[in-house]
Structure 1
Amino acid sequence: MTGAQTAAQAMVAATARLRAAGVPDPARDARVLLAHAARIEASRVTLIAPEDLESDIAERYEQLIALRAIRVPVSHLLGEREFYGRRFKVSGDVLDPRPETECLIEAALAAPFQRVLDLGTGSGCILVTLLGEQRDATGLGVDLSEAACLQASANAVLHRVEPRADIRQSDWFQNVDGQFDLIVSNPPYIALNEMPGLSAEVRIHEPEMALTDGGDGLGAYRRIAANVGHYLTPGGRVLVEIGPTQAAAVAALFELAGLRQIRVVQDLDGRDRVVCAQSA
């Protein structure tokens, strides 16, 4: 095909274009998006590198690179993101699952549980992962966003935990009933004045209500601390993800709420990431 580029040439051009647009790690993104355009595993890109790109693949690749250049997240272009060894469907309606949230999963799995509540479930990655790992557990995931509830429900079906997962639209505890021996949450914890400092991928393409409370970043923790005691079984645990400077403030809120055995878990980078507590 006259004028056709090889896959290798297309990747080089795409990498340069993404670098000029200020995209972090442009070579990786160029490779992953080419694999997606060609509908192959990323590990197989090297095999097609010397070959001319078919016109339909080249067109798809051009569209993907154009979107990435304006900072649409790779996960949104792929429609999925890996989290704790599972692939979750994602979109602009939910927060992208992040590697640091796996710290919350590890802490939750450190002790057995039978009934889990996930507050602000988003993509459902926390609830679905916990139910996938604890096969005899059941759970409830709630989110104010109807679109997020649909996304979480789809991921529950994808990972075959939907018979044990109840997804409801709810403003925090509003539509929650019963008690739970584990309550988890990755709430919006970015202060409003911190929002301009976020990357374009996050600031523009992820839902604002999942990022910030519109205030000091502690609003969700106040709501959780004020109500969580009514929904925890005796000795039940609550685990919340936090921003790296919020441990002391969130721990103080939990202490005022009468929770005990409060501790902070750090992520792999040594930053405070999860606050854990128990009911009396």
Structure 2
Amino acid sequence: MTLNLLQAWQSAKARLEAAGLAGPVIDARLLVEAAAGATRADIVTDPYRALTPEQEETLSDYVARRERREPVSHILGRKGFWKIMLSVTPDVLTPRPDTETLVDYALKEFPEGMAFNLLDLGVGSGAIMLAILAERRQAKGLGVDVSEEALAVARENAANLGLAGQAAFLRGDWTQGLAEASFDLVVSNPPYIASEVIAGLEPEVRDYEPRLALDGGPDGLAAYRRLAPEILRVLKPGGAFAVEIGYDQKAAVEALFREAGASGVRTLKDLATHDRVVVGAKNPLERRT
């Protein structure tokens, strides 16, 4: 029997519910849209539109992959973040809504029309940097990552978004080789999950996300110990920083940045009211010796 859009959505939702997956309604809709070449509006306004046999086969494959806990972003090869759409592969961390807290802060700190230099450490897919650059066309960004595969994804996303002229990418180990006082804004979503915790994470994260982007060492703070003094080194006097953290890392990460000499250190909460982003600045009166 040929399925229509509504039946396909209902069938996919039922399979995902039976598999015990969270968010089956949205996941099923996204998979149907992709498999059938449809939009959300199509499902509402033309629910009885029939799928072709090829589309039904594609949808069945998509749903089977999701039942095995493969993330929707990997199945479709894309993920929406802030106001942009990004290509996503297993080589990069799937962008999450929680991280939009960081983007929101950056855009408030640097108003439209302002020219500034941005550094994204551990750029991954480019989500943070490209979301900012897309709204601040006078800005320039440098994305650094140790993974050449991740950089390839970020470069593709920059090109697809028409941001290649604003964005540059560099393979490197955090700030190694970067000059002092070079950037007005430094952002980062470093690995912050304690090594021993990773085995107990949801399969979508544990089995499909790059461990390099997850593993923060024995206590989850290894990256911040390196980043705090280095971020302050490459920031211009008066420059701002914003780093994502785990929900229980506020006190430890704030302390590391204060010890490094940052001023105005505080933590922002995400929409779920979890501590999410530590922000602060380099003293505007500081001078290099």
TM bin, normalised by shorter chain, reads over 0.9
**What secondary structure, in the 3-state scheme, does the structure 2 residue paired with 1:31 have?**
helix
Greater Cα shift, 190-199 or 53-62: 190-199
CA distance in 2, matches of 1:199, 1:152: 25
- 2:3: which partner in 1? 5
Match of 1:17 among 15, 32, 40: 15
Provide the rounded CA distance (Å) in 2 between the counterparts of 1:197 and 1:175: 36
Secondary structure of 1:254's partner? helix
User: Which residue is 1:118 aligned to?
Assistant: 120
SS in structure 2 of the partner of residue 162 of structure 1: coil
- 1:229 corresponds, among 229, 232, 256, to 232
Range with bigger deviation, 185-194 or 23-32 = 23-32
TM (norm. structure 1) is 0.94
Q: Quick check: 1:206 aligned with 2:204? A: no
CA displacement at 1:175 relative to structure 2: 4.1
User: Distance in 2 between the 1:221 and 1:155 partners?
Assistant: 27
Match of 1:254 in 2: 257
Offset at residue 20 of structure 1 (A): 2.0
The one of 168, 173, 176 equivalent to 2:175 is: 173
Matched, 1:276 2:274: no
Secondary structure of 2:124 counterpart: coil
Mapped to 1, the partners of 2:80 and 2:238 lie a distance apart of: 32
Q: How far has the Cα of 1:47 moved from its partner?
A: 4.2
State the alpha-carbon separation in 2 of the partners of residues 200 and 216 from structure 1.
21
State the alpha-carbon separation in 1 of the partners of residues 49 and 159 from structure 2: 38
Question: After the TM superposition, which of the residue ranges 198-207 and 104-113 deviates more from structure 2?
Answer: 104-113
- Equivalent residue for 1:31? 29
Residue 261 of structure 2 aligns to a residue in which SS? Answer: coil
Aligned residue pair count: 278
User: Residue type matched to 2:75 in 1?
Assistant: L
Equivalent of 1:69, from 42, 67, 74? 67
The C-alpha deviation readout for 1:120-145, integer Å capped at 9, x for no partner, is: 00010111111111111111100111
Partner SS, residue 35 of structure 2: helix
Q: C-alpha displacement at 1:201, in angstroms?
A: 0.9
Which amino acid is 1:224 matched to?
L
- Matching residue of 2:43: 45
Residue number in structure 1 paired with 2:287: none
Which residue, 128, 131, 145 being the options, matches 2:130?
Answer: 128
**Counterparts of 1:114 and 1:60 in 2: how far apart (Å)?**
45
Q: What SS does the corresponding residue of 1:141 show, helix, strand or coil? A: strand
Normalised by the size of structure 2, how large is the TM-score?
A: 0.91
The CA deviation at 1:106 is 1.3
Q: Report the RMSD for the aligned CA atoms in angstroms.
A: 1.6
2:94 — aligned with what?
A: 96
User: Of residues 261, 270, 275 in structure 2, which corresponds to 1:267?
Assistant: 270
Q: Distance in 2 between matches of 1:96 and 1:252?
A: 28
Contact 1:169/1:175 (CA < 8 Å) preserved in 2? no
1:65-88 deviation per Cα after TM superposition (whole angstroms, max 9, x unaligned): 111110111111222111111111
**Partner AA of 1:131 in structure 2:** L
What is the CA-CA distance between 1:119 and the residue it aligns to?
0.2
Quick one: which amino acid aligns to residue 136 of structure 1?
Q
Match of 1:242 in 2: 245
2:151 corresponds to which residue?
Answer: 149
Q: Return the alpha-carbon distance in structure 1 between the equivalents of residues 243 and 96 of structure 2.
A: 14
CA distance in 2, matches of 1:94, 1:149: 9
CA contact (8 A) 2:83 2:131 kept: no
